[in-house]
Amino acid sequence: MSKMKDVAELAGVSIKTVSRVLNNEPHVQERMRDRVRDAVKKLNYVPSNSARSLRGNRSYTINLICNSHRGNYVNTIQFGAVMGCQARGYQLSITLIESEDRQKILETLENRLTSHAKPDGVLLVAPLASDFGVDKLLREHKIPIARVGSSPIVDGDGVGVEIDDMAAAREMTEYLLSLGHQRIAFVRGKEGHIATQQRFQGYEAALASKNIKVDPDLVYKGEFDFKSGLVAGEKFLSLSNPPTAAFAANDDMAAGILMAAKQKGIKVPEELSVAGFDDSEIAEKIWPALTTVHQPLLKLGEGAISKLISVLGRTDTEEQHPTILAHELIVRQSTSKIKGNL
Amino acid sequence: MSKMKDVAELAGVSIKTVSRVLNNEPHVQERMRDRVRDAVKKLNYVPSNSARSLRGNRSYTINLICNSHRGNYVNTIQFGAVMGCQARGYQLSITLIESEDRQKILETLENRLTSHAKPDGVLLVAPLASDFGVDKLLREHKIPIARVGSSPIVDGDGVGVEIDDMAAAREMTEYLLSLGHQRIAFVRGKEGHIATQQRFQGYEAALASKNIKVDPDLVYKGEFDFKSGLVAGEKFLSLSNPPTAAFAANDDMAAGILMAAKQKGIKVPEELSVAGFDDSEIAEKIWPALTTVHQPLLKLGEGAISKLISVLGRTDTEEQHPTILAHELIVRQSTSKIKGNL
DNA sequence: CTTCAAATTGACAAGGTTGTCAATTTTCGT
DNA sequence: ACGAAAATTGACAACCTTGTCAATTTGAAG
């Protein structure tokens, strides 16, 4: 494993010059630059990350922090993030925050950050992205933050990449309305997630624009998981006046509704239209394939890393607006025009 | 950010003593140990990873290498690996190997390893786990390897954690036989994966034990993805003498078969029993819920990390047998006794 | 051709930890 | 209580890079 000194000797310059070339610093003649680059190539030299980190107090590591809920959402964002890091010479390390216990979450995190192995930046995946305590802790440690998935309620600093959840939910609801549905049920996500609120607001807004009141019987507080979708579906379908369409705040819950319909012998989409949100892996593997909102998760992850790394060196804390990426309505087989019983 | 020197001063000892306490080295009086530990706690001291790495030539990082195929399998193993690392003071970083192009794969990897930021160990996830070139490269760089998912064909060094794919596939096939099925179709995985071969062998062995010949029409070479399962299902169901059961080498392909059956109006499990492998996320979210083989993916990931870290310091390359974890047959609604048309 | 300013280059220290080896203290046998 | 051996403790260098600042070279102007 060669070091800078070797390169310097081979190129016949000082190690500092090598350093300058490697870091694209000015004040080096072109001739020298080439000589150094040749030597680097010849020796297959790669700088020592640990020495760099030690001296420069940076780790060339981005830490992705997410809670321990597995699934397509985090997984895909993470893949995007890894790709973004790899393309820029950074590493992505992953921290899992298991507990629902806030105290423990913060301790885990603090531990992580106090270490001199602290990351140069942190990527917060929803719902952690809008967690106030986490935010504060990171600010104390002066670690740049990027958020994926939802803006914080408080005006935290840090960059963000997200989609317009409210608009997307509104569009989906409007689509269902356009199919003739009037009684549209909604399954909310986990309370506390910003997306939960925003998607519900989109649903409300669409109904309001058609002067339809939200029927409390048609709104269920889910948990973003399959089980709660199942329960919601069972509840909706045993109403005396059941809905003709159901829109769940994510695909897992929509799959649950589908399951409930199957178990009750209700045909989808003939008797019940079902829509999801996320366009996750399962959306097109279930029957009928799910009408849903596509989120560009890979791009969210990669975009967040890109923005994060680009602000790393800077100190100008100019206000950053989150980047809004486009979503897309994906119509598959789980929705259809309402059967006229007129 | 406090350093060792601060701790040493507060405790009234030399920094070397602090170092010794922190690394659980011998030759320190209990009294000193306590004093140092108190000081550490008081100052909230955490050692600098970069300094440690620089001096000790270790990075306290494990690198998980996987190809870029997203999905429940890699995701879950990875979560297990993160948990394993966190529990032992290691970081998990992730390398994605995009290309199918072997040359590029190896270059990416070489780059990763030549860097002084090289990981202390590498976790190879199937199908990379049995890739001979990757293996060789890692050996050249003397980086300890752990493998998850399948043993290498060649007797590579390194630890491994896996399940007995062949036995599991055999059990599943035997279960289908026990339900009265005789014409059992099989969808193979991607060629080149060891699991593909082993699972097929399990299927063959079970049939052989009942003196049933493998019918080439009932074996399809899939790709481990939904699409190929769909195609396989279509093919099986349009045979003049279709199978009464189909066993796919993973759940995604089984879901594809289910989809094909739906599209042809074939009822599952009444007219066709379907079984998968992996017990992945979708297995119980589709209808009918999938009979499958459960793999303890979290444990595979965590176990591999645990074994890997435990051999890190050592040089005694005693032969290591892979750890075999238990699988489990999960019977859900996609399989049933054959309808007697006797 | 000289002088001065600007550009280029290099010597050296610092960053926090651990290995080596020497110095010091403790323990034990007599 | 004395000396030798063992255990404990500490001083210092080394790991590799980059920032600081001084030394050197180059270029421009007179």
- Residue A342: pLDDT band by 50, 70, 90 thresholds? very low
Evaluate whether residue A53 is within a structural domain: no
Contact B262 A287 (CB under 8 A): yes
Contact B61 A96 (CB under 8 A): no
pLDDT at B23: 92
End-to-end CA distance of chain A: 80
What single letter denotes the amino acid at residue A63? N
CB A67 within 8 A of CB A285: no
pLDDT at B151: 64
- Residue A2, nucleotide of least CA–C1' distance: D16
Evaluate whether residue A273 is within a structural domain: yes
Residues 13-32 of A, Cβ under 7 A from nucleic strand D? 15-16, 19, 22-23, 25
R_g (Cα) of chain A, nearest Å:
25
Write down the pTM of the prediction: 0.90
pLDDT at B342: 43
Average pLDDT of the residues in B253-263: 97
- Residue B324: pLDDT band by 50, 70, 90 thresholds? very high
Examine the domain organization and report whether B133 and B67 are in the same domain: yes
Contact B50 A54 (CB under 8 A): yes
Examine the domain organization and report whether A171 and A251 are in the same domain: yes
- For residue range A309-325, list pLDDT tens digits in order: 988 876 666 667 889 99
Nearest to A285 among B60, B86, B282 (CB): B282
- For the CA of B108 and the C1' of C12, the distance in angstroms is 37
- For residue range B296-316, list pLDDT tens digits in order: 999 999 999 999 998 887 766
Cβ-based neighbour number of residue A234 at 10 Å: 17
Evaluate whether residue A184 is within a structural domain: yes
Cβ-based neighbour number of residue A41 at 10 Å: 10
Q: Token pair of A242, please?
A: 């059941």
Residues 28-87 of A, Cβ under 7 A from nucleic strand D? 47-48, 51-52, 54-56
pLDDT at A132: 67
pLDDT at B132: 67
Examine the domain organization and report whether B82 and B120 are in the same domain: yes
pLDDT at B155: 59
Mean pLDDT: which of B27-41, B118-132, B322-336 is highest?
Answer: B322-336
Examine the domain organization and report whether B34 and B64 are in the same domain: no
Examine the domain organization and report whether A147 and A195 are in the same domain: no
Examine the domain organization and report whether B82 and B198 are in the same domain: no
How far is residue A132 from each of residues A151, A152, A216, B222, measured CA to CA in Å?
11, 8, 30, 47
**Average pLDDT over chain A, rounded to whole?**
89
Cβ contact B16 with chain D strand, < 7 A? yes
Cβ-based neighbour number of residue B309 at 10 Å: 22
Count of domains forming chain A: 3
Cβ contact A51 with chain C strand, < 7 A? yes
Examine the domain organization and report whether A270 and A304 are in the same domain: no
CB B132 within 8 A of CB B154: yes
What sign has the CA pseudo-torsion A55, A56, A62, A65? positive
Examine the domain organization and report whether B154 and B100 are in the same domain: yes
Evaluate whether residue A337 is within a structural domain: no
CB B258 within 8 A of CB B52: no
Kindly tell me if the per-residue pLDDT of B192 is higher than 90. no
Q: How is residue A203 annotated by DSSP?
A: H
Nearest to A286 among B44, B93, B285 (CB): B285
pLDDT at A79: 94
Contact A93 B91 (CB under 8 A): yes
Examine the domain organization and report whether A281 and A305 are in the same domain: no
Main-chain dihedrals φ then ψ at residue B133, nearest 5 degrees: -65, -45
- For the CA of B1 and the C1' of D9, the distance in angstroms is 26
- For residue range A161-209, list pLDDT tens digits in order: 999 999 999 999 999 999 999 999 999 999 988 899 999 999 999 999 9
Residues 112-141 of B, Cβ under 7 A from nucleic strand D? 116
Kindly tell me if the per-residue pLDDT of A90 is higher than 90. no
- For the CA of A142 and the C1' of C15, the distance in angstroms is 20
Examine the domain organization and report whether B142 and B200 are in the same domain: no
Kindly tell me if the per-residue pLDDT of B38 is higher than 90. yes
Examine the domain organization and report whether B195 and B281 are in the same domain: yes
CA separation for the pair B46, B65 (Å, rounded): 28
What residue numbers bound the domain in which B97 lies? 60-163+297-327
For β-strands B328-330 and B292-294, DSSP reports them as antiparallel
Sheet holding B245-248, edge to edge: B219-221, B184-188, B245-248, B273-275
- For the CA of A35 and the C1' of C3, the distance in angstroms is 33
Kindly tell me if the per-residue pLDDT of A69 is higher than 90. no
Residues 29-88 of B, Cβ under 7 A from nucleic strand C? 45, 47-48, 51-52, 54-56
Evaluate whether residue A311 is within a structural domain: yes
CB A51 within 8 A of CB B116: yes
Contact B82 A94 (CB under 8 A): yes
pLDDT at B302: 96
CATH number at residue B282: 3.40.50.2300
Q: Helices B49-56 & A49-56, crossing angle to 10 degrees?
A: 140
Contact B76 A95 (CB under 8 A): no
